[in-house]
Structure 1
């Protein structure tokens, strides 16, 4: 196993995706920094209903950081509709996928449109680690479009939820290269995609600002229920490793 030589320059934040208020409270109690609302039965970035987002937001303390998935295809009416409501719903971030986008130019135009409707809420452009299998733009291309759209946050996730993680599709070296490209543009990088406890050291070698989970903190997989115990276990492992690397 490679030795960890990464110097942590910032505290990595843990994002946990939830489907309702009950899961949100479990995730927050377990130590999650960002509560992300989505409907995993509808895909990688399955959009939740506005009612569900509001339910989660109202169940949490006013200071909680809450995000929501808009959908995998950022051109859809549903994405634009939820983007318009993001500010009213009190969201900090909204995540828009890159499915169906054929060029950096098209992606830039679409992300700019979403940003213009978001009411100041941070728009996160999401690239897929398995982009070659789903006919999507590469992470580097999505990053470039996000930068040209003046977005502040960029994420890599997996489109297909078949048990393979981001690390099964992309090498650590490539992910580090993407992270450096994001940092050079003054952008925040988030990493997700069927990540498990066993991926902790790999994640720290990549060194993103935010790391996202769902299946790893659920009883019964990503379509199961978020468990406070699982969130605590995962967050604890990240905190311990982070402290050891900061010494």
Structure 2
């Protein structure tokens, strides 16, 4: 079934998900230099966004295309040329890196959807202001209609949904499954250092993981997630199949807070833990 099908079309029953292996690693990057660093560390998903302007603030379309060109670059072009001399990647590193575009919230996401390069695997639209199911379905349909067919829309749910003026995460996750989504990002709207785990609590986090598993949804946990949270995942979410499929980070791998530059030493710590 095409991932960009409207929400009200019939949805085929999802295939059973395989048993979970190691989780994927998503790092938010704001420019080409950060994208090159993320590729060197074997990051699975490079999420293009501007952390100084909100949870899902987009970077410029120029940066989208620069990074799309990076991961599409053939091996013969990896030495010299427009690429920085310090960035030399293996074919495996380049081919493994998937790109994701943060489109912003609601109306902004719709306006930018048709500018996402087809080379991107994913895009995300924030649900802030969508207080009803019809509003959220309308947002998803509008983005899907404008976005390249090759790009998969990822549903976003906010742990602090009241701050975002949207529905709670459980309702969004269930609606996403009904609408044919395969992936959901659980994040925080306010970036004040309080993690999604602290906002939700351990019990509710486990329940959301169970809901994702039952609905055959791949889910990524974001929102001030630390290495300590990852190392305690067996305690936080006891059932293996309910644990996150991916950890999405920014501030945890930066110098200072999430608005700082990526820190190689912190990236190396995360790489060792997740690999």
Q: Identify the TM-score tier after normalising by the shorter chain.
A: 0.7 to 0.9
Give 2:14's aligned residue: none
Q: TM-score, normalised by structure 2?
A: 0.78
Q: Secondary structure at the match of 2:34?
A: helix
Are residues 1:238 and 2:268 paired?
Answer: no
Q: Which has the larger radius of gyration?
A: 2
Contact 2:122 2:152 in 1 (8 A): yes
Contact 2:174 2:215 in 1 (8 A): no
Matches within 5 A, 1:102-141: 102-120=131-149, 121-141=151-171
Q: Secondary structure at the match of 1:9?
A: coil
Give 2:5's aligned residue: none
Post-superposition Cα deviations, 1:172-209, rounded to whole Å, max 9, x if no partner, equal: 22122112212222211111001112211344544111
Gaps of 5+ in 1: 1-7, 240-247
Are residues 1:180 and 2:210 paired?
Answer: yes
Give 2:219's aligned residue: 189
Give 2:177's aligned residue: 147
Post-superposition Cα deviations, 1:59-84, rounded to whole Å, max 9, x if no partner, equal: 2355221101011x22x1x3123222
Give 1:70's aligned residue: 103
Q: TM-score, normalised by structure 1?
A: 0.86
Instruction: State the distance in 2 between where 1:79 and 1:188 align.
Output: 22
Larger deviation, residues 160-169 vs 138-147: 138-147
Q: 1:58 aligns with which of 62, 66, 69?
A: 69
Contact 1:15 1:36 in 2 (8 A): yes
Q: CA deviation at 1:147?
A: 2.0
Gaps of 5+ in 2: 1-18, 73-93, 238-242
Alignment length, in residue pairs?
228
Instruction: State the distance in 2 between where 1:151 and 1:113 align.
Output: 15
Instruction: State the distance in 1 between where 2:233 and 2:225 align.
Output: 9
**Post-superposition, which runs of at least 4 consecutive aligned residues in structure 1 deviate over 4 A?**
none
Give 1:13's aligned residue: 24
Give 1:216's aligned residue: 252
Contact 1:98 1:142 in 2 (8 A): no
Q: 1:92 aligns with which of 114, 121, 144?
A: 121
- Alignment RMSD (CA, Å): 1.7
Give 2:12's aligned residue: none
Distance 1:36 1:138, change over 3 A: same
Distance 1:50 1:209, change over 3 A: same
Q: CA deviation at 1:15?
A: 0.1
